[in-house]
Amino acid sequence: MKEGPRYKLALKRRRQGKTDYHLRYKLVISQKPRAVVRKTNKYILVQIVEFDAKGDKVIAAAHSKELSKLYKWKGYGKNICAAYLTAYLAGLRARQKGIKEVVLDIGLQTPVKGSRVFASLKGLLDAGIKVPHSDDILPDEERIKCGSISKWAQDLKENNPEFYKRQFSKQLERLPPEELSKHFEEVLNTIKSSFSNISLEGDRQ
């Protein structure tokens, strides 16, 4: 370990590779709530967080586990479709708490155009939350709505049924993958109807 009067030990979370304090500082000085998007091997978590000197306060949040528990989602909990729906749900909950604008916090994740992180961003925008962004980084509508998965699954089912069964073995236990696009719209409409007290007209950015 380095020693000497000029050596400064990095903060614990920085040493562990969990927090980029330089990035966090820039987000905090914006004085806007942060939309914290995190992903695990199975799920997506979106939290609307306000800074507090004693510890960040979570104002609103949504976990992709909730999609299946509350809204009968039958797709996976970690794909682009689930990322969008989870963030959309978090965005509506944030609006109920009076939150209108946030900044996106992706932590140490590498920003990749069209990724799950930016599908979450699109979900927040469509829920009526203002977030500084460039439209170039957002996934296209077909991917967000599971259209690309449904088309690919239908093609495999018709032309390579054995591979279709292997590729979608887990999904077939819940719902045929070619039906995911239609199912996505049903779940999205169910979420909207559960927040009927919030006007969604003209909210899309």
Average pLDDT, the chain: 87
Whole-angstrom distance, CA of residue 201 vs CA of residue 127: 10
Return the number of other C-beta atoms located less than 10 Å from residue 65's C-beta: 16
Residues 182 and 146: beta-carbon distance below 8 Å: no
Taking only the tens place, the pLDDT of each residue in 150-160 is: 999 999 999 99
Does the pLDDT value for residue 15 go beyond 70? no
The H-or-E segment that residue 199 falls in is none
How many residues in total does the chain contain?
Answer: 205
Contacts of 116 (CB under 8 A, 6+ apart): 39, 44, 78, 79, 80, 83
Residue 37: what pLDDT? 94
44-95: per-residue pLDDT in tens? 999 999 977 777 799 999 999 999 999 999 999 999 999 999 999 999 999 9
Checking if the pLDDT of 5 tops 60, the result is yes
Q: Give this prediction's pTM.
A: 0.85
Is the pLDDT at 204 greater than 50? The verdict is no
Note the pLDDT of residue 16.
Answer: 46
